C-alpha cells in the first residue's frame, strides 16, 4: 500500500504490479504515471480489513499531513499490516518558517528509478501550520505500536523503517 501514492507515484513506478496507491485527491491519482490500483481514500480511515498488507509506504506524504493526524495514520497503517509487516517512510524535516515572508517550503529531489531513469520532482508545502521532524514521526509510530528498525538521515530528508511485531 502506497499512502499518498498520487502525483509522481514513485513507489508505484518502482513496483507497479504489486502496489495499491491511495490518496485523498482523485486528480493526484489520475496524474500518477503508474499502473497501480488507485483508490481515493483517507489514510486516517483505511477501508481495508486488519492484517491485509505485508508492506506500506509513505513517500514524501507525511509532510502534507498535520501533526495531529500523523498518529492516526500510523495506527491505521499498523492495523492493516500483517504481523512482521513493514512501514517505510521517506520524508523531510520542515524547518521553521523564515522571516523573509516565504509561504512555501520546497524540497527538490533526485530519484533514480532505474539505471537509466532519474526523475527530479519537487515536493512543496505551505509553511503555515506545518512542521515536521524525523522524531515527530518516530513518536507517532511508536505510539501506534511500531518498532523502529532503522532511520537514515540525508541532510533534511530521512528514511524510517518500522515493523509491526
15 exposure class (CB count in 10 Å sphere: 0-12, 13-18, 19+): middle
64-114 residue pLDDT tens? 888 889 999 999 999 999 999 999 999 988 877 777 777 888 877 888 887
Provide the 3-class DSSP secondary structure of residue 28.
Answer: helix
Taking residue 161's Cβ as centre, other Cβ atoms within 10 Å add up to 15
At residue 131 the predicted structure's pLDDT band, cuts being 50, 70 and 90, is low
49-68 residue pLDDT tens? 999 999 999 999 998 888 88
Of 1-10, 19-28, 85-94, 121-130, the range with the lowest mean pLDDT is: 121-130
pTM for this predicted structure: 0.90
Report pLDDT for 73.
97
Name the residue ranges covered by the structural domains of the chain.
2-92+133-163
> What angle do helix axes 134-144 and 67-80 make, rounded to 10 degrees?
40
Top-level class of domain 2-92+133-163: alpha beta
Q: What share of the chain is helix, strand, coil (3-state, %, to 5)?
A: 25, 40, 35
Amino acid at each position: 500500500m502506497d499512502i499518498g501514492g498520487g502525483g509522481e507515484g514513485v513507489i508505484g513506478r518502482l513496483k507497479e504490479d504489486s502496489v495499491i496507491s491511495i490518496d485523498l485527491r482523485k486528480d493526484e491519482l489520475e496524474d500518477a504515471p503508474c499502473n497501480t490500483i488507485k483508490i481515493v481514500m483517507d489514510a486516517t480511515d483505511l477501508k481495508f480489513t486488519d492484517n491485509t498488507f505485508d508492506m506500506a509506504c509513505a513517500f514524501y506524504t507525511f509532510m502534507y499531513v498535520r501533526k495531529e493526524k500523523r498518529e492516526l495514520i500510523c495506527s491505521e497503517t499498523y492495523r492493516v499490516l500483517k504481523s512482521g509487516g513493514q512501514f517505510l517512510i521517506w520524508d523531510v524535516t520542515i524547518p521553521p518558517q523564515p522571516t523573509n515572508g516565504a509561504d512555501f517550503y520546497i524540497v527538490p529531489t533526485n530519484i533514480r528509478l532505474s539505471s537509466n531513469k532519474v526523475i527530479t520532482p519537487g515536493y512543496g508545502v505551505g509553511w503555515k501550520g506545518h512542521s515536521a521532524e524525523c522524531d515527530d514521526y518516530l513518536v507517532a509510530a511508536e505510539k501506534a505500536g511500531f518498532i523502529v528498525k532503522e532511520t537514515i538521515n540525508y541532510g533534511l530528508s530521512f528514511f524510517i523503517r518500522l515493523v509491526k511485531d
